[in-house]
């Protein structure tokens, strides 16, 4: 397949490299990042998109996506599919989908879970909004870049799934960290706490797969000085997207709101910037009630 790939950063770079490795003809464009192995450099986003059957974007946010879509969509061949894999706000995803459809293109929002390790290994999960027909067109590419792709519904449904998932993740990580700090003060050994909770009703991905306590449970960023992993500022971005969506959909999300406020304080006023999002644990260790 002829593919245009725009946004070749931490995630997009290895995703595009995997497509090229499987024999697809990938033309890439990025304003800063180097071309991954096997990807031909295009001079602009429009040049990368021209003649492509599928254009994949992996960009930092909705405003940048809208700008790239503005430039790219008119250059695409009618019938081709514009597939955005970035994590962006639902409104931007729907606006770009509308623009693509008006231009006679297919369109999918297909954000991912699995992080940079999943991007490199080709084991991402894609949560997808759009039509079944467009999903089927891009499915072979999802199968190379990931291990699972779920068609969630109409345009925007992929982003909706992503921000709901990450709102749960942010809130459970905070409460898992709180619980470890409370257990310390109650004199409960962390390993015992893990043994109990990871097989009891308090279990979660945050506890079982990504335990925030160093030396407890499986290896995680906590065992590497809280080097990301998944940075606290990215979690803050996703929690803010969830709150923006809750506001526009008139949904009551008090836990998500509190999680967003806590990560904002951690990243913007405390020492959370540049640390993994599980570094909430040392934060709670240091703090008293306030």
Residues annotated as catalytic (active site), given as ranges:
162
Report the b/e string of 175-207 with b at 16+ CB within 10 A.
Answer: bbbebbbebbeeeeebeebbeebbeeeebbebb
By CB under 6 A, name the one of 9, 51, 153, 202 that touches ligand NAD. 9
Q: How far is the CB of 113 from ligand NAD (least distance, A)?
A: 6
Q: In 3D, which of 96, 110, 162 has the Cα closest to residue 141?
A: 110
> Kind and range of the H or E element at 119?
helix 115-121
Stretch 250-279 residues interacting with ligand NAD (CB under 6 A): none
| Interhelix angle 232-249/157-185, nearest 10 degrees | 120
Site string for ligand NAD, 190-229 (x = CB under 6 A): ----------------------------------------
Q: Report d(CA 161, CA 156) in Å as an integer.
A: 9
How buried is residue 80: exposed, middle or buried, by Cβ count under 10 Å (0-12/13-18/19+)? buried
Q: How far is the CB of 231 from ligand NAD (least distance, A)?
A: 8
Site string for ligand NAD, 222-251 (x = CB under 6 A): --------x---x-----------------
Please identify, using beta-carbon distances, which residue of 160 and 179 lies nearer to ligand NAD. Answer: 160
Please work out the total of residues on this chain that contact ligand NAD, with binding judged by CB under 6 A: 26
Which two three-digit tokens encode residue 247? 């506001």
Which two three-digit tokens encode residue 285? 């260790």
For 87, half-sphere exposure in the C-beta direction (CA atoms, 13 angstrom radius) is: 23
Please identify, using beta-carbon distances, which residue of 58 and 246 lies nearer to ligand NAD. Answer: 58
Please identify, using beta-carbon distances, which residue of 56 and 211 lies nearer to ligand NAD. Answer: 56
Q: Which stretch binds ligand NAD (CB under 6 A): 2-10, 19-27, 219-227, 249-257?
A: 2-10
Stretch 37-66 residues interacting with ligand NAD (CB under 6 A): 45, 58-60, 64
Which residues have CB under 8 Å from 55's CB, separation 6+? 3, 4, 5, 6, 48, 49, 72, 76, 80, 81, 82, 83
By CB under 6 A, name the one of 50, 52, 81, 86 that touches ligand NAD. 86
In the chain the first and final C-alpha atoms are separated, in Å, by: 57
By CB under 6 A, name the one of 3, 4, 5, 12 that touches ligand NAD. 12
Q: How far is the CB of 30 from ligand NAD (least distance, A)?
A: 4
Q: How far is the CB of 287 from ligand NAD (least distance, A)?
A: 27
Report the b/e string of 108-120 with b at 16+ CB within 10 A.
Answer: bbbbbbbbeebbb
Please identify, using beta-carbon distances, which residue of 197 and 280 lies nearer to ligand NAD. Answer: 280
By CB under 6 A, name the one of 6, 90, 97, 100 that touches ligand NAD. 6
Stretch 102-141 residues interacting with ligand NAD (CB under 6 A): 112, 115-116
Q: Which residues bind ligand NAD (CB under 6 A)?
A: 6-12, 29-33, 45, 58-60, 64, 67-68, 86-87, 112, 115-116, 230, 234
């Amino acid at each position: 397949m002829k593919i245009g790939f725009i946004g070749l950063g931490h995630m997009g770079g290895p995703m595009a490299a995997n497509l090229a490795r499987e024999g697809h003809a990938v033309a890439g464009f990025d304003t800063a990042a180097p071309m991954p192995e096997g990807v031909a450099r295009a001079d602009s986003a429009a040049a990368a998109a021209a003649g492509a059957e599928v254009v994949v974007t992996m960009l930092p946010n909705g405003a940048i996506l809208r700008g790239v879509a503005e430039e790219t969509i008119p250059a695409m061949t009618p019938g081709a599919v514009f597939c955005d894999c970035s994590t962006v706000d639902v409104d931007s995803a729907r606006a770009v989908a509308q623009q693509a459809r008006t231009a006679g293109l297919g369109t999918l929002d297909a954000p991912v879970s699995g992080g940079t390790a999943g991007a490199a290994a080709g084991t991402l999960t894609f949560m997808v909004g759009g039509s079944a027909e467009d999903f089927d067109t891009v499915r072979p590419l999802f199968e190379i870049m990931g291990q699972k792709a779920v068609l969630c519904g109409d345009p925007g449904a992929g982003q909706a799934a992503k921000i709901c998932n990450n709102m749960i993740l942010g809130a459970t990580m905070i409460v898992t960290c709180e619980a470890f700090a409370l257990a310390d003060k109650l004199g409960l050994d962390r390993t015992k706490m893990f043994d109990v909770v990871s097989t009891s009703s308090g279990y979660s991905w945050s506890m079982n797969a990504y335990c925030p306590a160093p030396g407890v449970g499986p290896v995680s960023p906590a065992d590497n000085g809280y080097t990301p992993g998944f940075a606290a500022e990215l979690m803050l971005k996703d929690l803010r997207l969830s709150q923006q969506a809750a506001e526009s959909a008139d949904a009551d999300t008090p836990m998500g709101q509190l999680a967003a406020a806590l990560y904002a304080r951690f990243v913007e006023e405390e020492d959370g910037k540049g640390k993994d999002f599980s570094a909430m644990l040392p934060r709670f260790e240091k703090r008293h009630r306030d």
